[in-house]
A and B are shown apart, each in its own frame.
Chain A
Amino acid sequence: MTLAATTDLAAATNEHLANLSNTLIYSAMAVYTLAFFAYITEWIFGSRSKIGRTAAALTADPAARKAAPAVTVKKGGSTAVLERPKVVVRAAAGQRDVPDGPGAHGGDEQGDLYGRIAVSLTVLAFLIELAGVIARAASVERAPWGNMYEFNITFSTVAVGVYLSLLALKKNVRWMGLFLITSVLLDLGIAVTVLYTASDQLVPALHSYWLYIHVSTAILCGAVFYVGAVSTILYLFKDSYESKLAGGGKPGKFATSFLERLPASSSLDKFSYRVNAAVFPLWTFTIIAGAIWAGDAWGRYWGWDPKETWAFITWVAYACYLHARATAGWKGRKAAYLALIAFGCWLFNYYGVNIFVSGKHSYAGV
Chain B
Amino acid sequence: MSKTTPDATRTPPAGDEDLGAAGSQLSTAPEDTLSMPSLGVIGWARWFWRQLTSMRVALLLLLLLSLGAIPGSLIPQSGTDETKVADFRKANPTLGDLYDKLGLFHVYSSVWFSAIYILLFVSLIGCIIPRTWQFVGQLRGRPPGAPKRLTRLPAYTTWRTETEPEQVREAALALLKKRRFRAHLAGDAVAAEKGYLREVGNLAFHIALIVMLIAFAWGQLFKMEGNKLIVEGGGFSNTLTQYDDFKSGSLFTADDLDPFSFNLKDFQGTYEKSGPNRGTARTFQASVTYSVGAFGKGKKTLIKVNEPLEIGDSKVYLTAHGYAPVITVRDGKGNVVYHDAVPLLPLDSNITSSGVVKVMDGYRDAKGERQQLGFEAFFLPTYTPGNEVSSTFPALGNPVLNLAGYYGDLGVDSGVPQSVYQLDKTHLKEFKDAKGQQQRENLRPGETMKLPNGAGSITYESTEEWANFQVTRQPGSGWALAGSIAAIFGLAGSLFIQRRRVWVRAVKGDDGITVVEMAGLGRSESAKVPEELGALAETLYDQAPGASDAGRVEPDSVSDSDSATAAERPGN
Contact = CB atoms under 8 A, between A and B. Distances in A.
A310 B481 CA distance: 20
A92 interface: yes
A277 B315 contact: no
A328 B16 CA distance: 12
Interface stretch (A27-35, A93-101, A123-131): A93-101
Contact of B74 (A140, A303, A357): A357
A168 B517 CA distance: 36
A4 B272 CA distance: 11
Contacts of A323: 55, 58-59, 62
Contact of B533 (A87, A306, A328): A87
Closest 10 CB pairs of A and B: A11-B275, A332-B9, A75-B534, A201-B280, A316-B66, A309-B73, A208-B306, A299-B472, A201-B277, A306-B73
Nearest to B517: A85
B312 interface: no
Contact of B155 (A68, A89, A205): A89
A167 interface: no
A109 interface: no
B555 A270 contact: no
B556 A14 contact: no
A299 B491 CA distance: 28
Contacts of A327: 29, 32, 55-56, 59
A8 B274 contact: yes
A309 to B, nearest CB: 4
5 contacts: A66-B572, A303-B80, A313-B66, A324-B59, A330-B56
Nearest to B273: A7
B491 A281 contact: yes
Given A90-B570, A201-B280, A84 B9 contact: no
Contacts of A8: 274-275
B263 interface: no
Given A14-B275, A70-B556, A284 B491 contact: yes
Given A66-B572, A88-B555, A301 B480 contact: yes
Contact of A299 (B6, B29, B73, B225): B225
A328 B534 contact: no
Contact of B66 (A83, A89, A320): A320
B359 interface: no
B69 A316 contact: yes
A75 B571 contact: no
A15 B65 contact: no
Interface in B513-572: 518, 525, 530-531, 533-535, 537-538, 541, 546, 554-556, 569-572
B537 A75 contact: yes
Contacts of A331: 9-11
Interface residues of B, number: 95
A198 interface: yes
B224 to A, nearest CB: 11
B72 A304 contact: yes
Interface in B437-495: 470, 472, 474, 477, 480-481, 484-485, 487-488, 491-492, 495
B308 interface: yes
Given A301-B480, A304-B79, A329-B10, A312 B59 contact: no
Interface in B58-79: 58-59, 62-63, 65-66, 69-70, 72-74, 77, 79
Contacts of B154: 89-92
Contacts of B70: 309, 313
Interface hub of A65, A88, A205 (most chain B Cβ within 10 A) = A88
Interface in A185-199: 198-199
Nearest to A310: B73
Interface in A305-336: 305-306, 309-310, 312-313, 316-317, 319-320, 322-324, 326-334
Contacts of A88: 155-157, 555-556, 570
Contacts of A95: 8, 11, 525
Given A87-B534, A328-B11, 17 more contacts: A4-B274, A11-B277, A18-B276, A69-B556, A89-B155, A90-B571, A94-B7, A140-B277, A200-B277, A203-B280, A299-B317, A300-B225, A302-B216, A312-B69, A323-B59, A327-B32, A345-B66
B221 to A, nearest CB: 14
A320 B72 contact: no
Contacts of B485: 288
Contacts of B159: 85
Interface in B189-241: 216, 223, 225
A252 interface: no
A316 B546 contact: no
Contacts of B11: 92-95, 328, 331
Contacts of B275: 7-8, 10-12, 14-15
A69 B569 CA distance: 11
B246 interface: no
Contacts of B101: none
Nearest to B106: A304
Nearest to B16: A93
Contact of B556 (A72, A291, A295, A334): A72
B80 A305 contact: yes
A326 B108 CA distance: 29
B571 A304 contact: no
Contacts of B305: 204-205, 207, 297
A204 B159 CA distance: 69
B307 A15 contact: no
Contacts of B308: 296, 299
Interface in A241-286: 243, 270, 277-278, 280-281, 284-285
B416 to A, nearest CB: 31
A281 B554 contact: no
B360 interface: no
A350 B487 CA distance: 25
A48 interface: no
A8 B62 CA distance: 55
Nearest to A200: B277
Contacts of B481: 288, 292
A50 interface: no
Contacts of A1: none
Contacts of B491: 280-281, 284
A326 B554 CA distance: 35
Nearest to A298: B317
A353 interface: yes
Contacts of A11: 274-277
B43 interface: no
Contacts of B372: none
B556 A201 contact: no
A239 to B, nearest CB: 9
A70 B559 CA distance: 12
Nearest to B18: A93
Contact of A207 (B14, B16, B306, B556): B306
A73 interface: yes
Given A73-B530, A329-B56, A86 B571 contact: no
A21 to B, nearest CB: 13
A76 interface: yes
A326 to B, nearest CB: 6
B153 interface: yes
B348 to A, nearest CB: 13
Contacts of A332: 8-10
Interface hub of A140, A324, A334 (most chain B Cβ within 10 A) = A324
B37 interface: no
B3 interface: yes
Contacts of B530: 73, 87, 89
A114 to B, nearest CB: 29
Contact of B15 (A92, A97, A280): A92
